[in-house]
Chains A and B, each alone.
Chain A
C-alpha cells in the first residue's frame, strides 16, 4: 500500500523504521568504542576525564564524517542511476573523481596545502564541462556516460603525468588520498558538510516522484511533463554531493554503486530509496572506516580500499543470490 496503512501494517512499518534508525546508532556506538585506546561512551560518563572525552570527540568526528560522506555518496548514486538509466552508474561515472584527483594531486605536489579546495575545484570543473556537453546533447544518457568516461581518461592521464614529475613521498601522499582516506579529512568543515549534505538529500527527496518517472526512460519523463530544469536540478544535486564529499574525504569507491542496488531490493520508489540508501551508505562507511583504522593497529588502511574489497565481495554474493531481482 502506498497511500494509507492499516493498524498491523502501520506497526510493521514503525518497527521497520525503528530498526533502520536504531541500527546506525548501535553501529556508531561500537565504532566509537574501537581504537588503540580503550575508550567508550560509558568510560567517559563514569570518569569525566578530559583526555578520554577528547579521544571520544575525535572518534565522534571521524564516525560522523564517515556517516555523512557515505550518506552523500549513496544518495548521489541513487540519483545518477535514475538520471542515467544505468544500473552501473555511480557518483564517479561522469569523471567527478578524476577531476577531484587532478585538483588534489596538483595541490599535494605543488603546494601541500588547500588539498580539499583544489579537489573541489577539480570536481566542479569536470561537472561544468559535463553539464555543458549534456545540455548540448539534450541529456542523451549514453552520450553523457561516454563523455564522462572520456573526461575521466583525460583527467586520469593528467594525474599520471603529474606523478611522472613528482617526488616519491608526494606520490605516496597523493595515492593515499586517491584511495579514500578519512584520516586526512578536515574536521573543521564537519558541521558545514553535514548541513550541506542534509540539505541536498532533502532537496533530492522533494524530487522523488520525478526520479521515479525519469527512471522509466526519457520518453516517459517527457509525457509526464518533466522538463529540462528538473533534470538539471537533480544532476547538480548529485554532482555537488559527490564533489563536496570527494573534497572532504578523497575518492571512496563502491558505496555509491552497491548501496542503491542493495536497497533497491527492498524498495524501488525514491521516496524511500533515497533516505534508506543514505542511512545504509553512511552506516557502511562507518563500518569500513572502523575496520580500516583498527584491523592493523597502529597503522590505518584507507577506507576506500576496505569498501572496494569487502563491498565487491558482498555485491558478488548479492548478485548470485538475487540475480533475478537485480
Chain B
C-alpha cells in the first residue's frame, strides 16, 4: 500500500534547484535509507516529506491525499520527524519527550493514555535512568535516543530521520539502528538519511541513492549497492564485498582513488 507518492517534485533555495523532478513511491512498512554525497538534496527531500519545506512544483501525496490539504496537526499525528534540535534548551528529558504528544492533545492537556504512551516511549528507548536529566547535560548518543523517544511519543505510522547516527560511536549507532529496526518490525515505516552505507545496507530494506537532486538508484541493498553504483554516486572507487554474517553488501573504501574531475562536474 502506497504511503507517500511524490510526483515530479522540484525544490530550490533562492532559484538554485536542489531537487530536480523527483518521482518516488514509498510503501507502508518500508525501511528506507537515503544515501548520497553532501549537497545531493537528501535533507531537502526529507524536509519536503516532513512539510518543513514546500516543493516549488510537483505534489506529494500521503495515503492518497495531497499533503498540503491535510491540516498540519493531523499530519503531525501521522508523520514524526527526527532532526537535529536547533535550539537546545535545559528541559528535562521527560518534559521533552512529552512534547511529542502535543499533536494528539487539545490545548496541550495530556490524559492518562498520553502519559502511558510517553512512559512507554521512554522505556522503549531505554532512557529511564536519564529522564530527570536536562537535555543540555546529555551526550550526543543520549540526545539522539531522547529525540527518537519524542518521535515515538507522537505515535505515528511513519518516522522520518535526518542522519540519526551522525557523530555517534559504533555502540550508540547500533543502539539507535536497533530501535529503528524494532519499530520497523512492529509495522512502522522508517525513512532515514544515512551517510554510513554499510549501516544502511545492514538495516534498510530499500536504499535510495540521491545525487545532484536526482535519484541514481532505488532498490534493495543487495541489488543497488555494487561497485558501479557506488562509484557513480560518490565519484570514488570502493570495493564491495558481502558481509559474511548477514550476506549484505559491504563497502570498503580504497584510499587515494577520488575522481576529482568528475566530482567537480
Q: Residues on A close to B: CB < 8 A?
A: 1-4, 85, 206-210, 212-213, 215-220, 222-227, 268-269, 271, 325
In the bound assembly, the distance between CA atoms of A4 and B119 in angstroms comes to 13
The smallest C-beta distance from A74 to any residue of chain B, in angstroms, reads 19
Q: Is B26 an interface residue (CB 8 A)?
A: no
Give bound CA distance, A274 to B86, whole Å.
23
Q: A3-B110, A219-B52, A325-B90 are in contact. Are A213 and B73 (CB under 8 A)?
A: no
Q: Which of B74, B81, B85, B108 has the most CB of A within 10 A?
A: B108
Distance between Cα atoms of A212 and B102 in the complex (Å): 10
Cβ of A219: which chain B residues have Cβ within 8 Å of it?
Answer: 47, 52, 83, 86
Asked whether A268 lies within 8 Å of B73 as measured between CB atoms, the reply is: no
Choose one: A85, A222, A325; the contact of B87 (CB below 8 Å). A85
CA distance A271 to B99 in the complex (A): 13
Q: How many residues of B contact A (CB 8 A)?
A: 34
With A212-B91, A213-B102: A220-B50 Cβ-Cβ less than 8 Å: no
A216 CA / B71 CA spacing, docked (Å): 21
A209-B102 in contact (CB<8A): yes
User: Given contacts A3-B115, A217-B85, could you give 11 more A-B pairs where the C-beta distance is less than 8 Å?
Assistant: A209-B105, A215-B87, A216-B85, A217-B86, A222-B51, A222-B52, A223-B51, A223-B76, A223-B80, A224-B76, A227-B73
Smallest beta-carbon distance A77→chain B, Å: 16
Contact B87 A224 (CB under 8 A): no
Which chain B residues numbered 51 to 107 have a C-beta less than 8 Å away from chain A? 51-52, 71-77, 80-81, 83, 85-92, 94-95, 98-100, 102-103, 105, 107
Instruction: Report A-chain residues with C-beta under 8 Å of the C-beta of B71.
Output: 225
CA of A268 to CA of B87, assembled, Å: 13
Residues of B with C-beta under 8 A to A222: 50-52, 72
Chain B's closest residue to A270 (CB) is B108
Chain A nearest CB: distance from B107 CB in Å? 5
Q: A224-B102, A227-B72 are in contact. Are A209 and B89 (CB under 8 A)?
A: no
Q: Are A268 and B103 in contact (CB under 8 A)?
A: no
Q: Measuring CB to CB, which residues of chain B are less than 8 angstroms from any residue of chain A?
A: 47, 50-52, 71-77, 80-81, 83, 85-92, 94-95, 98-100, 102-103, 105, 107-108, 110, 115
Name the residue of chain A whose CB is nearest to the CB of B97. A2
User: Contacts A2-B95, A213-B102 given: A218-B86 contact, CB under 8 Å?
Assistant: yes
Cβ of B67 to closest chain A Cβ, rounded Å: 12
B105 lies within 8 A of A220 (CB): no
> A225 contacts B73, CB within 8 Å?
yes
Complex alpha-carbon distance, A220 and B108, angstroms: 16
Q: Are the CB atoms of A225 and B103 closer together than 8 Å?
A: yes
Contacting residues, chain A, for B98 (C-beta < 8 A): 2
Give the residue name and chain of the A residue nearest to B81 (CB).
A223
Across the A-B interface, give the 4 residue pairs with the lowest CB-CB distance, nearest first: A209-B108, A217-B86, A225-B76, A225-B73
Within the complex, what minimum Cβ distance (angstroms) separates A266 from chain B? 11
Given the complex, which residues of A lie within 8 Å of B52, measured CB to CB? 219, 222-223
Q: Given A3-B110, A216-B85, are A225 and B72 also a contact pair (CB < 8 Å)?
A: yes
* CB-contact partner of A269 in B75, B85, B91, B100, under 8 A: B91
| Chain B hits for A2, CB < 8 A | 92, 94-95, 98
- 15 interchain pairs, CB-CB under 8 A: A2-B92, A2-B94, A209-B105, A212-B95, A212-B99, A215-B89, A218-B86, A222-B50, A222-B52, A223-B51, A223-B80, A225-B77, A268-B90, A271-B108, A325-B90
Quick one: closest A residue to B85, CB to CB?
Answer: A216
Residues from chain B with a CB closer than 8 A to the CB of A225 are 71-77, 102-103
Q: Which of A2, A213, A224, A225 has the most CB of B within 10 A?
A: A225
Q: Is there an interface contact between B110 and A226, defined as CB atoms closer than 8 Å?
A: no
- A210 engages B81 (CB within 8 Å): no
CA distance A207 to B75 in the complex (A): 20
Least CB distance from B54 to A in Å reads: 10
List B contacts of A215 (CB < 8 A).
Answer: 87, 89
Q: Once the chains bind, are A268 and B77 in contact (CB under 8 Å)?
A: no
The closest CB in chain A to the CB of B83 belongs to: A219
A271–B94 CA distance with the chains assembled, in angstroms: 15
CB neighbours of A217 from chain B (8 A): 85-87
Report the separation of the CA atoms of residues A213 and B101 in the bound assembly, to the nearest whole angstrom.
11
Q: Hey, which chain A residues are within 8 Å of B74, CB to CB?
A: 225
Contacts of B94 in A (CB 8 A): 1-2
Cα(A219)–Cα(B76), bound, Å: 12
Closest to A215 in B: B89
A85 / chain B contacts, CB cutoff of 8 Å: 86-87
Contacts of B108 in A (CB 8 A): 206-210, 271
Query: Which one, A1, A3, A4, A209, contacts B99 given CB within 8 A?
Result: A209
CB B13 to nearest CB in A, in angstroms, measures 14
User: Which of A218, A219, A223, A224 has most chain B Cβ within 10 Å?
Assistant: A223
Chain A residues with CB under 8 A of B107 = 206, 209
On whether the beta carbons of A213 and B99 are closer than 8 Å, the reply is yes
Closest Cβ neighbor of A325 among chain B residues = B90
Return B56 CB to nearest CB of chain A, in Å: 15
